[in-house]
Amino acid sequence: MNAPLARLYSSAPISRSTSVGDERRREQRHATRYSASVESSRGEQAGVVLADVSLHGCCISGEAVWLRQGAFVSIRIGQGATLKAVVRWVRGDSAGMEFLHAVPSDAREWHELMDIAG
């Protein structure tokens, strides 16, 4: 069972021209195509591609058939910081993940992907 997260829900009315998923997100997602690696808590690993990223989560695509909703994973880009996340959804070879903690300010590689590096 997934608990609703306050930052995903907006009090603004939903227009018919916008999908519900777009309206629920309060933070900007940044589209990208960047290689990453994901590892399960059991040690399973896969190379994936980041499709989008925000301060609190990301969407990946790749053949990680072991990914399951609710699984805890670690995701890394390059040689930089590894971020812990929970898999929120899986559809085909894509998955959405919510980081357990916001991307830290010293994780430059992640901030560069979002064009907000300091």
Q: Does domain 28-113 have CATH number 2.40.10.220?
A: yes
What's this model's pTM, rounded to 2 decimal places?
Answer: 0.74
Tell which residue, 2, 18, 19, 9, has the closest CA to residue 89: 2
pLDDT in tens, 60-69: 999 999 999 9
Digit-coded pLDDT (tens) for 91-113: 999 999 999 999 999 999 999 98
Report H helices in the chain: 20-24, 108-113
